[in-house]
Chains A and B, each alone.
Chain A
Amino acid sequence: MQINITSAPDYAMAEVSLTADEKVVVEAGSMVAMSPHMQIETKARGGVLSSAKRMLGGESFFINTYTSAGNPGLIYIAPGPPGDLRHLQLPGGDFYIQSGSYVASSSGVQLDTKWGGAKTFFGGEGLFILKASGQGDLIFGSFGAIHEVDVDGNYSVDTGHIVAFDAGLTFNIRKVGGLKSLFLSGEGLICDFSGKGKLYIQTRKPGSFVHWLTPFRPVKQESAGGPLGIIYNIIRRFI
């Protein structure tokens, strides 16, 4: 498998070249283009229970495996949000990815949902982390740019900005400051990392973006019929 990342960092896309009969596992909906002989197989990976766990992890229930049947082939892969992609060669051992950041992997890489702890539910900011293990290629993506931090000691990150981290780091989730800060600071939950290892963070937070967009959504009208309702709706267009 040969992986080449193009159009980085703003709108990165992965160009994956496969040898004959080689496979690549791709997050549902991430295929952009591919050779015509590429075979697609959709699976609820790891059985229904494990898949349900993955769905809790913010990831799709189904995962697609593309096989370059009989001949070498090419597949282009891109994630949903605008941003960057990283390709890592996993040497064996564990690696952790925020579930929404997973994009693709070679068949030698196993994915498992690691529970971030019940605390992560607090404040509606779930932190679900996938554990990738085994040897092979891994591709993950970000909303915005990917900022790498070499942690040696302690470092704290807003949970919504976490992309991935090495097994050399342990983490603990906490609220910001005191009660006042928790509700009023506008900061979500903070993840304290400790140990030695590489941490990948994204420079934009999907949750904040969605929150920003919410006031622009149309408002459900209870009963805005009749001429008054029409006038009201016209006025609303300009406010």
Chain B
Amino acid sequence: MQVNIEYRPSFALAIVKLAAEEAVVAEAGAMVSMSSNVQIKTSSRAADGGKRGGILKSLKRSVFGGESFFMNTYTAQGGEGEVTLAPTLPGDVLSIPMTGSGLLIQGTSYMASSPGISIDTKWGGFKTLFGGEGLFMLKATGTGEIVVNSFGAIHELQMDGPYIVDTGHIVAFDETLSFEVKRVGSWKSTFFSGEGLVTEFNGKGRLWIQSRNPKEFGKDIGSRLPPRRA
């Protein structure tokens, strides 16, 4: 599986080349185009090649992970194949090679992975529900490629020591980093600063952040649209 990313950073497209009988797992709705010998299989299973999972795990991912309930597996049959994938929002795509150590991914930033990678939900803690800014992380383990997307540009930080990031701007980070979700300043600031909750990281590892917060954009545009029915 070879991943080439074009049209960065604003409208990135991941072009995934598959060898014969090779597969890629992608979030439902991410497929843009594909060669005709690629077969789609929809499963409610976790993205671990079907070894574990099942409907309960999928539900957990969907309800808590901010992610689609279903995943699609694209397999190139009888020869080489190609699948192109794109996220919904304008922004960048990044392919991160995984060599054994785990990666935590913000639920909505997950786009695709090789079948050797297993995806599980990690509970961000009760506090994260507060203020509507859920921090639901997916935990990826195994070896292979994992493809993440961002709203806006992706900025990589090499962490060594404490650092604070707005929860809505987190894309992914190495599991070597510890994190804690906190209020910002006083209770007054929590409610009115517009910053909601922040995540304090500590330790050594990589952290990827996105230069725009999807929720802020949604609120900004959505509130100007005509009301929908409840």
Contact = CB atoms under 8 A, between A and B. Distances in A.
Given A186-B72, A216-B219, A147 B35 contact: no
Interface string A200-228: 01011100110111111111111000000
A238 B86 CA distance: 31
Interface in A138-177: 144-145, 147, 149, 153-158, 161, 176-177
A184 interface: yes
Contacts of A10: 10-11
B11 A144 contact: yes
B28 A184 contact: yes
A153 B72 CA distance: 24
Interface in B122-170: 131-132
Interface in B4-29: 6-7, 10-13, 27-29
Contacts of A181: 40-42, 72
B68 interface: yes
B97 interface: no
Contact of B33 (A153, A184, A186, A201): A201
10 closest Cβ pairs, A-B complex: A216-B222, A186-B28, A186-B29, A154-B36, A144-B11, A145-B7, A216-B218, A220-B227, A157-B33, A181-B42
Given A158-B32, A185-B28, A238 B13 contact: no
Chain B interface: which size bin?
A: 35 or more
B13 A186 contact: no
Contact of A156 (B6, B33, B226): B33
B89 A217 contact: no
A140 B131 CA distance: 43
Contacts of A204: 11, 86, 88-90
Given A156-B33, A185-B40, A187-B28, A217 B222 contact: yes
A239 interface: yes
A185 B72 CA distance: 6
Interface residues of A, number: 44
Contacts of B44: 184
A82 B28 contact: no
A112 interface: no
A9 interface: yes
A213 B218 contact: yes
A234 B227 CA distance: 17
A220 B229 contact: yes
A209 B89 contact: yes
Contacts of B35: 154-156
A147 B6 CA distance: 9
A57 interface: no
Contacts of A239: 131-132
A33 to B, nearest CB: 24
A192 interface: yes
B42 A184 contact: yes
Q: Which of A176, A186, A208, A213 has the most CB of B within 10 A?
A: A186
20 contacts: A9-B10, A82-B90, A83-B11, A149-B33, A154-B35, A158-B33, A161-B33, A185-B40, A186-B28, A187-B40, A203-B7, A203-B11, A203-B13, A204-B86, A204-B90, A214-B222, A217-B228, A219-B229, A220-B229, A221-B227
